[in-house]
Amino acid sequence: MLVVMRPNATPTEINRVVEAIKAQGLTPHPLPGATRTAVGMTGNTLAVDKGLFEVLPGVEEAIRVTKPFKLASREMKTDDTVVRTKFGDIGPGTFTIVAGPCSVENLDVTLRTAEYLMSRGVRWLRAGAFKPRTSPYSFQGMGVDGLKILAQVREKTGIGIVTELMDTEHAAAVEEYSDVIQIGTRNMQNFSLLKRVGQCRKPVLLKRGMSATLEEWLMSAEYILAGGNYDVILCERGVRTFSDHSRNTLDLSVIPPAKVLTHLPIVVDPSHGTGKRAYVPAMALAGMAAGADGVMIEIHPDPDKALSDSAQTISFTTMDGILDKLKAMAPVFGRTL
Amino acid sequence: MLVVMRPNATPTEINRVVEAIKAQGLTPHPLPGATRTAVGMTGNTLAVDKGLFEVLPGVEEAIRVTKPFKLASREMKTDDTVVRTKFGDIGPGTFTIVAGPCSVENLDVTLRTAEYLMSRGVRWLRAGAFKPRTSPYSFQGMGVDGLKILAQVREKTGIGIVTELMDTEHAAAVEEYSDVIQIGTRNMQNFSLLKRVGQCRKPVLLKRGMSATLEEWLMSAEYILAGGNYDVILCERGVRTFSDHSRNTLDLSVIPPAKVLTHLPIVVDPSHGTGKRAYVPAMALAGMAAGADGVMIEIHPDPDKALSDSAQTISFTTMDGILDKLKAMAPVFGRTL
Amino acid sequence: MLVVMRPNATPTEINRVVEAIKAQGLTPHPLPGATRTAVGMTGNTLAVDKGLFEVLPGVEEAIRVTKPFKLASREMKTDDTVVRTKFGDIGPGTFTIVAGPCSVENLDVTLRTAEYLMSRGVRWLRAGAFKPRTSPYSFQGMGVDGLKILAQVREKTGIGIVTELMDTEHAAAVEEYSDVIQIGTRNMQNFSLLKRVGQCRKPVLLKRGMSATLEEWLMSAEYILAGGNYDVILCERGVRTFSDHSRNTLDLSVIPPAKVLTHLPIVVDPSHGTGKRAYVPAMALAGMAAGADGVMIEIHPDPDKALSDSAQTISFTTMDGILDKLKAMAPVFGRTL
Amino acid sequence: MLVVMRPNATPTEINRVVEAIKAQGLTPHPLPGATRTAVGMTGNTLAVDKGLFEVLPGVEEAIRVTKPFKLASREMKTDDTVVRTKFGDIGPGTFTIVAGPCSVENLDVTLRTAEYLMSRGVRWLRAGAFKPRTSPYSFQGMGVDGLKILAQVREKTGIGIVTELMDTEHAAAVEEYSDVIQIGTRNMQNFSLLKRVGQCRKPVLLKRGMSATLEEWLMSAEYILAGGNYDVILCERGVRTFSDHSRNTLDLSVIPPAKVLTHLPIVVDPSHGTGKRAYVPAMALAGMAAGADGVMIEIHPDPDKALSDSAQTISFTTMDGILDKLKAMAPVFGRTL
Binned at pLDDT 50, 70 and 90, residue D255 comes out as: very high
Mean pLDDT of chain B: 92
Query: Helix C316-329 vs helix C280-290: angle between axes, to the nearest 10 degrees?
Result: 20
Length of chain D: 337
- Max CA separation in chain D (angstroms): 76
- Kindly state whether C2 is in contact with chain D, defined as any CB-CB distance less than 8 angstroms: no
* pLDDT tens, position by position, C151-184: 999 999 999 999 999 999 999 999 999 999 999 9
- How far CA C2 is from CA of B63, C40, C128, D195, in Å, comes to 10, 4, 46, 44
pLDDT of the residue at D66 = 65
Phi, psi of A17, rounded to the nearest 5 degrees: -65, -45
DSSP E strands in A75-176: the ranges are 83-85, 88-90, 96-100, 124-126, 160-164
* D314 vs B contacts (CB less than 8 Å): none
pLDDT of the residue at C29 = 79
* A52 vs B contacts (CB less than 8 Å): 304, 310
Q: Do A50 and B190 touch (CB under 8 A)?
A: no
Q: Do D29 and A34 touch (CB under 8 A)?
A: no
- Kindly state whether C23 is in contact with chain D, defined as any CB-CB distance less than 8 angstroms: no
The yes-or-no verdict on residue B302 having pLDDT over 80 is yes
Query: With contact defined as beta carbons under 8 Å apart, do D245 and B214 qualify?
Result: yes
The yes-or-no verdict on residue A64 having pLDDT over 80 is no
Phi, psi of B27, rounded to the nearest 5 degrees: -105, 120
Phi, psi of C50, rounded to the nearest 5 degrees: -55, -35
Query: Helix D316-329 vs helix D280-290: angle between axes, to the nearest 10 degrees?
Result: 20
* pLDDT tens, position by position, C266-280: 999 999 999 999 999
Residues 125 through 144 of chain C touching chain B, CB cutoff 8 Å: none
For B2-63, CATH number out of 3.40.50.720, 3.60.150.10, 3.40.1260.10, 3.30.70.1140 equals 3.30.70.1140
Provide mean pLDDT across the span C196-212: 97
- How far CA C58 is from CA of B256, C15, C62, C285, in Å, comes to 18, 10, 12, 52
Residues 6+ positions from C319 with CB-CB distance below 8 Å: C99, C116, C120, C297, C299
pLDDT of the residue at D47 = 65
Provide mean pLDDT across the span B19-31: 84
- Lowest-confidence segment of A125-134, B138-147, D121-130, D301-310 by average pLDDT: D301-310
Going by their DSSP bridges, the two strands D59-63 and D2-5 should be labelled as antiparallel
**CB-CB: which of B54, B192, B309 is closest to A311?**
B54
The yes-or-no verdict on residue C2 having pLDDT over 70 is yes
Q: Do D219 and C136 touch (CB under 8 A)?
A: yes
Binned at pLDDT 50, 70 and 90, residue B242 comes out as: very high
Provide mean pLDDT across the span A230-243: 96
The yes-or-no verdict on residue B47 having pLDDT over 70 is no
Q: Report the residue of B73, B165, B186 to disrupt the A interface, i.e. the one with the largest count of A CBs within 10 Å.
A: B186
- Lowest-confidence segment of C328-337, D21-30, D106-115, D251-260 by average pLDDT: D21-30
Give the chains touching D; criterion: ≥3 Cβ pairs < 8 Å.
A, B, C
Going by their DSSP bridges, the two strands C180-183 and C204-207 should be labelled as parallel
* pLDDT tens, position by position, D38-73: 887 777 666 677 777 887 888 888 877 667 778 999
Binned at pLDDT 50, 70 and 90, residue D34 comes out as: low
The yes-or-no verdict on residue D241 having pLDDT over 90 is yes
Quote the minimal CA–CA distance from A34 to chain D in Å: 6
**CB-CB: which of B38, B43, B63 is closest to C34?**
B43
> Which stretches within C158-238 are classed as H helix?
171-177, 191-198, 214-226
Q: Do B291 and D274 touch (CB under 8 A)?
A: no
Provide mean pLDDT across the span C212-232: 96
The yes-or-no verdict on residue B57 having pLDDT over 90 is no
- Kindly state whether A152 is in contact with chain C, defined as any CB-CB distance less than 8 angstroms: no
Going by their DSSP bridges, the two strands A266-268 and C294-298 should be labelled as unpaired
Q: Do D75 and A240 touch (CB under 8 A)?
A: no
Residues 276 through 335 of chain D touching chain C, CB cutoff 8 Å: 276-277, 303-304, 308-312
More confident position, A180 or A32: A180
* A195 vs B contacts (CB less than 8 Å): 136
Query: What type of residue sits at position B210?
Result: M
Q: Do A49 and B308 touch (CB under 8 A)?
A: yes
Provide mean pLDDT across the span D139-149: 94
pLDDT of the residue at B68 = 74
Domain positions in chain D = 2-63, 83-333
Residue D275's region, left for phi above 0, alpha for psi from -120 to 50, else beta, is: left
Quote the minimal CA–CA distance from D151 to chain B in Å: 35
Q: Report the residue of A55, A105, A188, A243 to disrupt the B interface, i.e. the one with the largest count of B CBs within 10 Å.
A: A55
Same fold, B2-63 and B83-333: no
The yes-or-no verdict on residue A67 having pLDDT over 80 is no
In three-state form (DSSP H/G/I as H, E/B as E, the rest C), the secondary structure along chain D is CEEEECCCCCHHHHHHHHHHHHHCCCEEEEEECCCCEEEEEECCCCCCCCHHHHCCCCEEEEECCCCCCCCCECCCCCCCCCEEECCEEECCCECEEEEECCECCCHHHHHHHHHHHHHCCCCEEECECCCCCCCCCCCCCCCHHHHHHHHHHHHHHCCEEEEECCCHHHHHHHHHHCCEEEECHHHCCCHHHHHHHHCCCCCEEEECCCCCCHHHHHHHHHHHHHCCCCCEEEEECCECCCCCCCCCECCHHHHHHHHHHECCCEEECHHHHHCCHHHHHHHHHHHHHHCCCEEEEEECCCHHHCCCCHHHCECHHHHHHHHHHHHHHHHHHCCEC
Give the SS3 label for residue C272.
helix
Closest-CA residue in chain C for A247?
A: C253
pLDDT of the residue at D326 = 98
What is the number of CB-based contacts under 8 A between chain A and chain D? 53
* Closest to C214 in 3D by CA, of C7, C53, C62, C67: C67
pLDDT of the residue at B54 = 82
- Kindly state whether D30 is in contact with chain A, defined as any CB-CB distance less than 8 angstroms: no
* D34 vs A contacts (CB less than 8 Å): 27, 42-43
- Kindly state whether D212 is in contact with chain A, defined as any CB-CB distance less than 8 angstroms: no
**CB-CB: which of A245, A255, A291 is closest to C257?**
A245
Provide mean pLDDT across the span A206-225: 96
**pTM listed for this prediction:** 0.90
pLDDT of the residue at D44 = 67
Give the chains touching B; criterion: ≥3 Cβ pairs < 8 Å.
A, C, D
- Kindly state whether A54 is in contact with chain D, defined as any CB-CB distance less than 8 angstroms: no
Query: With contact defined as beta carbons under 8 Å apart, do D76 and D276 qualify?
Result: no
- Kindly state whether B42 is in contact with chain C, defined as any CB-CB distance less than 8 angstroms: yes
Closest-CA residue in chain C for A257?
A: C245
- Kindly state whether C119 is in contact with chain B, defined as any CB-CB distance less than 8 angstroms: no
Mean pLDDT of chain D: 92
**CB-CB: which of B33, B65, B242 is closest to C42?**
B33
Percentage above 90 pLDDT, chain C: 73
* C35 vs B contacts (CB less than 8 Å): 42, 66
Binned at pLDDT 50, 70 and 90, residue A309 comes out as: confident
Q: What ipTM was estimated for this complex?
A: 0.89
Give the chains touching C; criterion: ≥3 Cβ pairs < 8 Å.
A, B, D
Q: Do D65 and A4 touch (CB under 8 A)?
A: yes
- How far CA D25 is from CA of D19, D22, D45, D48, in Å, comes to 10, 5, 9, 10
* CATH number for the domain running over C83-333: 3.20.20.70
Binned at pLDDT 50, 70 and 90, residue D37 comes out as: confident
- Max CA separation in chain A (angstroms): 76
Binned at pLDDT 50, 70 and 90, residue C1 comes out as: confident
Mean pLDDT of chain C: 92
User: Would you tell me how many other CB atoms lie within 10 Å of the CB of residue B79?
Assistant: 8
The yes-or-no verdict on residue B229 having pLDDT over 80 is yes
d(C-alpha D231, C-alpha D85), whole Å: 10
More confident position, C54 or A44: C54
Query: With contact defined as beta carbons under 8 Å apart, do A162 and A296 qualify?
Result: yes
- Kindly state whether A175 is in contact with chain B, defined as any CB-CB distance less than 8 angstroms: no
* A136 vs B contacts (CB less than 8 Å): 191, 195, 219, 222-223, 226
Query: With contact defined as beta carbons under 8 Å apart, do B312 and B278 qualify?
Result: no
The yes-or-no verdict on residue A66 having pLDDT over 90 is no
CA dihedral defined by C253, C259, C261, C267, rounded to 10 degrees? 80
Query: With contact defined as beta carbons under 8 Å apart, do A54 and B311 qualify?
Result: yes
- Kindly state whether D118 is in contact with chain C, defined as any CB-CB distance less than 8 angstroms: no
Provide mean pLDDT across the span B180-200: 97
Q: Do B4 and C36 touch (CB under 8 A)?
A: no
Binned at pLDDT 50, 70 and 90, residue A57 comes out as: confident
Provide mean pLDDT across the span C78-82: 94
pLDDT of the residue at C123 = 98
Q: Do B283 and D276 touch (CB under 8 A)?
A: no
pLDDT of the residue at D269 = 98
- How far CA C187 is from CA of C98, D2, D218, D234, D235, in Å, comes to 20, 33, 18, 20, 20
The yes-or-no verdict on residue B43 having pLDDT over 80 is no
